[in-house]
A and B are shown apart, each in its own frame.
Chain A
Amino acid sequence: MSDKSTDAYWKANVRIITICMVIWALVSFGFGIVLRPLIAGIPVGGTDLGFWFAQQGSMLTFIALVFYYRSYMNKLDKEFGVEE
């Protein structure tokens, strides 16, 4: 594998990591804590959406993120021929 394609592979990886980490921060620190007052108008079972994100929604999003990253990277590995 040439240096050029190693660089491209790594850039693509860092890009997808950044996107996933932005979502990671948005659902937990964002919707769950700091942005909770902004979405307080949306009711969820006796409380508001921010509470749901803090006690359930963020965890479900985390699972989705890890599995999404996994399948994205498995494809990327094949594309660049670096899979095992």
Chain B
Amino acid sequence: MDQFVINLIFVGGSFALYIGIAIWARAGTTADFYAASRGVNPVVNGAATAADWMSAASFISMAGLIAAVGYGNSTYLMGWTGGYVILALLLAPYLRKFGRFTVPDFIGDRFYSQTARLVAVISLLVMSITYVIGQMTGAAVAFSRFLEVDSTTGLFIASAVVFCYAVLGGMKGITYTQLAQYCVLIVAYTIPAVFISLQLTGNPLPQLGLFSTHTATGQPLLQTLNEVLMELGFNDYTGNHGSTFNMVLFTLSLMIGTAGLPHVIIRFFTVPKVADARTSAGWALVFIALLYTVAPAVGAMARLNIITTLYPEGVQGEPLAFDNKPDWMLNWERTGLLRFEDKNGDGLIQYYNEANPPARAVEEGWEGNEMVLFNNDILVLANPEIANLPGWVIGLIAAGGLAAALSTAAGLLLAISSAVSHDLIKSMINPGISEKGELLAARISMAFAIALATYLGLNPPGFAAQVVALAFGLAAASLFPAIMMGIFSKKMNSTGAIAGMIVGLGSTVLYIFTYLGWFFIPGTNMLPNTPDNWLFGISPLSFGAVGAMLNFIAAFIVMKMSAPVPTEIEELVESIRVPKGAGAAVDH
């Protein structure tokens, strides 16, 4: 069967499933729309959280990022899972006990201030909107490669599907489609990894294969990879070649950023009890780790596979000829994400590190690395083709990539629309709005959010990649400290919390803009973005953790100088610290 038809069956089939679920799980009340009436089984919520969290970046980009650097990019693995320990221990159970619908809801009520609520809404909107752009463009890439439609059409199809289940079903529809999407994406990610692990090491579990013997050379896989890379002048895979200090800070920023992302936090509002929120966080981590422990194996194995393809006779032998390029290279060259250039005109592809060329490069007249572009995103998507797997595996990867992008997009869109309909309209502009009116407002804001996301997906700002760093930095520096202090400090008052959020937010934005340009406009950065210019050697990507520190410090200083918290707020904090009496959804 033609590959296109196979892809169409897999993608079309999965979409039909999502729409079916949407019709089955329609939302009738605002409690349905915002929190699936708090009736979601904790294990189901764990899987939905995993799909909600694992975005196009986790599914498509992460293994490629790890493959490109090796040990140094372990930061993503530890950072993006370590955040769930923080969520499970420090945030989720108490926010569930608090029993409202949104993150600004908690901040506004706990700090008895509409200003605090507004700052939280603004942070939420900035981070969620920047995040959703990445999901839409990720979906568009998957569409254009696998379904041979142009990316504009692909984007419209994706938006229409999300529209169906997000507007109709709200959190209820999103939860059950995310469950289905988790199944699709984990199967799609695991199957090619199992095949490749079997091919390279004979071990069907990629997690074990990564640390097993490479069948072809008879020595450990990672040792082979290290040797092959160093032979071509690259850094070894398992060594540490960056700054340890930045690695720690970046990991910490990713961890607390993860814990502060509103679209993840609101998933824990959907379970019936406080104890379920704790259970749910554990299952979410299990489901996430199923992919995250496979990713480093995929990264290392695919890197080795690519080098073996380019040097069929071993790294000391003759490189691959341009005329013998396998089909997957031709396919991906057409997308513009992979490019070769015969610099010395010998018809062979020399792939090596130009900055540190091996001895043979001079002897054999190599004139530069000839795989001039290899976009990290190709790695996972092209994996089945690189390993010569059957056509249905490629179809599965297409459906999986789309599931990852769409499930995260839906979660983000819900966070955006509930911030607008619940926090802006219901809590600030028109408190007298009826239940029906609020539900309608929620649906309309959802439709607007989808339209905005589609527009931004069609016209992505050139700086989308940097903006994701900003989203994590903001979550880490503004929302996370405010929520944590709201639970763990009875004395934290509104002025302290607001000052903290503003200092955290302001310092992070300022630091990032200083090195990456004001609003990311090229050329407007005040200092070059190189390690010698960074303050104390802190990379702008790692600044979120520092911003969070500044937030805590500012909050405590201002708290000491301003009026103490009212007694009823101290009582509120006491009540969220114990599980008893959480019950059903409370509205105000």
Q: Which residue of the partner chain, among A33, A48, A59, A82, contacts B580 with CB atoms under 8 Å?
A: A82
Chain B residues near A52: list those with CB within 8 A. Answer: 211
- Is there contact, CB below 8 Å, between A55 and B74? yes
* B278 part of interface (Cβ distance < 8 Å): yes
Contacts known (A46-B223, A55-B77, A59-B81); A84 close to B275, Cβ less than 8 A: yes
- Is there contact, CB below 8 Å, between A45 and B74? no
* A34 part of interface (Cβ distance < 8 Å): yes
Q: Which residue of the partner chain, among A20, A59, A70, A82, contacts B578 with CB atoms under 8 Å?
A: A82
Q: Which of B82-90, B161-169, B433-441 contacts A (4 or more CB under 8 A)?
A: B82-90
Contacts known (A6-B577, A28-B82, A34-B244); A54 close to B275, Cβ less than 8 A: no
- Is there contact, CB below 8 Å, between A45 and B252? no
B interface residue count range (under 10 / 10 to 19 / 20 to 34 / 35 or more): 35 or more
- Is there contact, CB below 8 Å, between B207 and A56? yes
- Is there contact, CB below 8 Å, between A28 and B78? yes
Minimum CB–CB distance for A56 against chain B, Å: 6
- Is there contact, CB below 8 Å, between A59 and B273? no
Minimum CB–CB distance for A47 against chain B, Å: 4
Chain A residues near B281: list those with CB within 8 A. Answer: 66, 70
- Is there contact, CB below 8 Å, between A82 and B579? yes
In this complex, what residue of A is CB-closest to B222? A46
Contacts known (A66-B88, A83-B580); A46 close to B219, Cβ less than 8 A: yes
Considering the chains assembled together, what is the distance between the CA atoms of A39 and B260 in angstroms?
A: 33
Q: Which residue of the partner chain, among B93, B238, B285, B579, contacts A62 with CB atoms under 8 Å?
A: B285
Minimum CB–CB distance for B293 against chain A, Å: 6
Minimum CB–CB distance for B82 against chain A, Å: 5
Contacts known (A54-B71, A69-B278, A70-B278); A63 close to B289, Cβ less than 8 A: yes
* A38 part of interface (Cβ distance < 8 Å): no
User: In the complex, which residues 46-84 of chain A have their Cβ closer than 8 Å to any Cβ of chain B?
Assistant: 46-48, 51-52, 54-56, 58-60, 62-63, 65-67, 69-70, 73-74, 77, 80-84
**Chain B 286-298: CB-based contact to A (< 8 A → 1; otherwise 0):** 1001001100100
Minimum CB–CB distance for A36 against chain B, Å: 7
Chain B residues near A17: list those with CB within 8 A. Answer: 89-90
Chain A residues near B247: list those with CB within 8 A. Answer: 33
* B221 part of interface (Cβ distance < 8 Å): yes
In this complex, what residue of B is CB-closest to A77? B579
User: In the complex, which residues 19-34 of chain A have their Cβ closer than 8 Å to any Cβ of chain B?
Assistant: 20-21, 24, 28-29, 32-34
- Is there contact, CB below 8 Å, between B85 and A20? yes
- Is there contact, CB below 8 Å, between A59 and B71? no
Q: Which residue of the partner chain, among A44, A60, A69, A80, contacts B89 with CB atoms under 8 Å?
A: A69
Contacts known (A46-B221, A55-B210); A21 close to B273, Cβ less than 8 A: no
In this complex, what residue of B is CB-closest to A56? B293
Considering the chains assembled together, what is the distance between the CA atoms of A30 and B211 in angstroms?
A: 21
**Chain B 78-109: CB-based contact to A (< 8 A → 1; otherwise 0):** 10011011001110010000000000000000
**Chain A 8-25: CB-based contact to B (< 8 A → 1; otherwise 0):** 011001100100110010
Minimum CB–CB distance for B216 against chain A, Å: 14
- Is there contact, CB below 8 Å, between B82 and A45? no
* B582 part of interface (Cβ distance < 8 Å): yes
Considering the chains assembled together, what is the distance between the CA atoms of A74 and B579 in angstroms?
A: 10
Considering the chains assembled together, what is the distance between the CA atoms of A24 and B583 in angstroms?
A: 31
Considering the chains assembled together, what is the distance between the CA atoms of A29 and B245 in angstroms?
A: 10
Chain A residues near B226: list those with CB within 8 A. Answer: 46
Minimum CB–CB distance for B173 against chain A, Å: 27
* A42 part of interface (Cβ distance < 8 Å): no
- Is there contact, CB below 8 Å, between B84 and A62? yes
- Is there contact, CB below 8 Å, between A83 and B579? yes
Q: Which residue of the partner chain, among A21, A34, A56, A74, contacts B248 with CB atoms under 8 Å?
A: A34
Q: Which of B74, B81, B90, B226 has the most CB of A within 10 A?
A: B74
Considering the chains assembled together, what is the distance between the CA atoms of A63 and B90 in angstroms?
A: 15
Q: Which 8 A-B pairs have the closest CB atoms?
A: A46-B220, A45-B211, A54-B74, A46-B222, A46-B223, A70-B278, A66-B282, A47-B238
* Residues in chain B within 8 A of chain A (CB atoms): 66, 71, 74, 77-78, 81-82, 84-85, 88-90, 93, 207, 210-212, 219-224, 226, 238, 240, 244, 247-248, 251-252, 273-275, 278-279, 281-282, 285-286, 289, 292-293, 296, 488, 574, 577-583
* Residues in chain A within 8 A of chain B (CB atoms): 1, 6, 9-10, 13-14, 17, 20-21, 24, 28-29, 32-34, 36, 44-48, 51-52, 54-56, 58-60, 62-63, 65-67, 69-70, 73-74, 77, 80-84
Known: A32-B78, A33-B248, A82-B580. 7 other contacts (CB 8 A): A6-B577, A6-B578, A46-B219, A59-B292, A80-B578, A83-B580, A84-B581
Chain A to chain B contacts (Cβ below 8 Å), 9 pairs: A6-B577, A34-B248, A46-B223, A46-B226, A58-B81, A63-B285, A66-B89, A82-B579, A84-B581
